[in-house]
Homo-oligomer: A and B are copies of this chain.
Amino acid sequence: MPSFEHQKSKALNDYAASVRVGDVDGKLIPVLDLINSLDDFYTTSSCSGRITLLEDRGGKGLNKFLGKWHRHVTVEEVLNALHSGSGTAWFKCEPPILHVIARTPEKADRLLHEAREAGFKRSGLQSLNDGRNVLELLSTEVIHAPVMAEGEVAVTGEYLKLLVDSANLKLDDGAVKLRRLEERIKSGLK
């Protein structure tokens, strides 16, 4: 297993490349930059929160995205995406998620504490294998509702509007949590 410094340097190169090609959501960049500026941590795959339409084919590798957005959506674009589906499909809102590698389990625990205080309530240390302490910081803005069953759209226009409005609000709540996470890390870990 390469040293923490070696792993981090490689991860920072990958991160810089992703930022350059516009692959990292602007809402994430301040908090990722902050975490990467700390000696004992670096970030890997992260997402600022998203709205998705998922065709459920019975397993993670088998499922298919009919739509995926990192911004507010409209009823029209969700309906358009849904019409290409078949079988069972779900409308989902997923909260911000950050993956962070910590130098030690103790450092991981410090960050976990700040993350939980910032409202990332579903956070945990996922693995300590071979000295790689992998943290997942996960917030709580969730929607997970069936919208297609047996190939038929299962929601009325009015209910789909409720789903879309709720998801757009939760996306905004997630962005607030990201700023709160940044503040907690600044005051607690820097």
Contact = CB atoms under 8 A, between A and B. Distances in A.
B105 A128 contact: yes
A144 interface: yes
Contacts of A166: 146
A52 to B, nearest CB: 13
B146 A162 contact: yes
Interface string A136-177: 100000111110010000111011001100100000000000
A125 interface: yes
Nearest to A129: B109
Interface residues of A, number: 29
Nearest to A126: B124
A66 interface: no
A122 interface: yes
Interface string A86-105: 00000000000000000001
Contacts of A162: 146, 149, 154
A127 interface: yes
Given A127-B112, A128-B109, A144 B144 contact: yes
A41 to B, nearest CB: 16
Contact of A124 (B113, B125, B142, B159): B125
A23 interface: no
Given A154-B159, A159-B159, 14 more contacts: A106-B128, A108-B128, A109-B127, A109-B128, A109-B129, A112-B127, A113-B127, A122-B122, A123-B126, A125-B128, A144-B145, A149-B162, A154-B162, A156-B156
Interface of A: 105-106, 108-109, 112-113, 122-129, 136, 142-146, 149, 154-156, 158-159, 162-163, 166
